[in-house]
Structure 1
Amino acid sequence: MLLTFLRLKNGQPDFHQVQVQMKYLILVKSSPSKKSNHSFLLNLLRCIETSKDQIQGVFFTGKAAEIAGSMNNGDAALLKKEFVALNEEFKIKLFVCGYAFRQIWKNVEAVDSHFVISGNMELSVLAIDSDRLMEF
């Protein structure tokens, strides 16, 4: 992110720009069937990663926890493939809420190996360490 400051130098206005690295935490709650939301999010993640900013992690909860399943199909399987590709290319950490995952899959063993089962504590730590939290 590029910040611009106005300061006075010898009584004259002087603009000073500083490049600041932002840390983002992405919270994904929307159902895999909301294709436009996820398409926008995937493009945003690519843009953030190619800039000087950093993604602390992508945390899946609610209906989005379906994406983390190892045996999913349909929209969830396609989205998982794209998120895993981002994970492998940019080393973006993928987290899934354990409670939300169990509500959908009933078995924690069904989580894909690219996702880390997490809870409120991990989410809180990630949020504290981030400059911006974005929810989709």
Structure 2
Amino acid sequence: MNFKGSVTEKVVETVESESPVTESLIENELKRIDPEYSYEYTKKSPNGFFTRPTTRDYYSFEKQDNQIIVKKVTPSFLRKIIEIHKGHGPGLLKLVEKILGVGLILILISGVWLALTIKRDMKITLILMGVGSVILAILALL
């Protein structure tokens, strides 16, 4: 299974430039091309830079010879969901993911604590926690 979603790339413009792609160049070009566009930060890729978050339309900047090619990239729904899963979504969503993660850990800890306080279930709880810990250790080593 190699489902990654797809993207549609559209060349917006080609800029003649001998200098490399820089943060200031990206900022200036985006202000000129799409004044309403906002992004959180840029990420370096093997071919150049792209803006984040990548869960919505974003721009990529690729250096080829003496040109910088600016592309508008539109991800498919599947690609957007995968990017959210990877943690590449907007800042507010990242905060929500952290809060949910902490909540999940607290639920897990309280469930173990509750199971260990019941004498009848303590033995099976310890056995299952031990087996789970061994499986986790084996998977971590892979």
Question: Structure 2-normalised TM-score?
Answer: 0.22
Question: 1 or 2 for the larger relative contact order (CA 8 Å, sep ≥6)?
Answer: 1
> Would you tell me which structure has more helix in proportion to its own residues?
2
Question: Structure 1-normalised TM-score?
Answer: 0.23
Structure number, greater radius of gyration? 2
